[in-house]
Amino acid sequence: MISIDLSGKHALVTGGSSGIGAAIVRSLANAGADVAINYLEDDTGRDAQAARQVADEASGNGVQAITVPANVADAGEVAHLFRTLDDQFGGIDILVNNAGIDGPRARCWESEPEHWQRVVQVNLFGAYHCCREAMARMVPARQGVIVNVSSVHERIPWAGYSAYTCSKAAVNMLTQTLAQEGAEAGVRVAAVAPGAIKTPINQDV
């Protein structure tokens, strides 16, 4: 096993309250990074509770773990999220863009435009908003790492989920473009493209 030491680093994981995001939070905390767990606040409070549970588990590693609600599809909320990180952590070293949705299953001609748009807003614009804020801090600091969680469906078609596949293909190209833009300043931008993972969001399949 490769030993990874992230002591003193500050990370943000969007969609970090469950599934892949929660697992990433645990891994970062195990490696010694302070972690901010982003989640989407709703009326039920379930995501907030789940985020706190992940934070409690992460802080057991002796790191600082905070929870920060924000809708990543909203540029204003993302800006506020990063200002919170500036106040709490003094900046950011690692961004993991994990928040994402697949939307209702529907063939293109039967889909609702607002559902299609919502998927693109969360998956693509959410990644863009967070990358924009992170790189505005990382490039002047001449260091930082961004990891975008894409999907095998950035390359593999998935009937009924055209918005999802298109958004993930776009995230792949966004990643490559930002990698070029950040390279001179020593900011690394990469993506991982997992297949289906046994998490609550995939229970029905």
Distance CA(107)–CA(28), nearest Å, equals: 38
CA distances to 98, 134, 156 from 127, rounded to whole Å, are 8, 10, 20
From the candidates 39, 128, 161, 164, give the one annotated as an active-site residue: 164
Distance CA(149)–CA(126), nearest Å, equals: 12
**What is the topology classification, in CATH, of domain 10-200?**
Rossmann fold (3.40.50)
- Pairing label, strands 34-39, 10-13: parallel
Scan for tokens 């095998």, then name that residue. Answer: 152
pLDDT digit string (tens) for the chain, length 205 residues:
688 999 999 999 999 999 999 999 999 999 999 999 999 998 789 999 999 999 999 999 999 999 999 999 999 999 999 999 999 999 999 999 999 999 999 999 999 999 999 999 999 999 999 999 999 999 999 999 999 999 999 899 999 999 999 999 999 999 999 999 999 999 999 999 988 776 666 666 6
Annotated domain spans of the chain: 10-200
Asked whether the whole model's pTM tops 0.85, one would answer yes
Token duo for residue 104: 């209702």
Q: In what order do the strands lie in the sheet with 144-149?
A: 65-69, 34-39, 10-13, 94-97, 144-149, 187-192
Distance CA(15)–CA(51), nearest Å, equals: 9
Scan for tokens 């950040």, then name that residue. Answer: 182
Q: Is 164 a catalytic residue?
A: yes
pLDDT at 205: 63
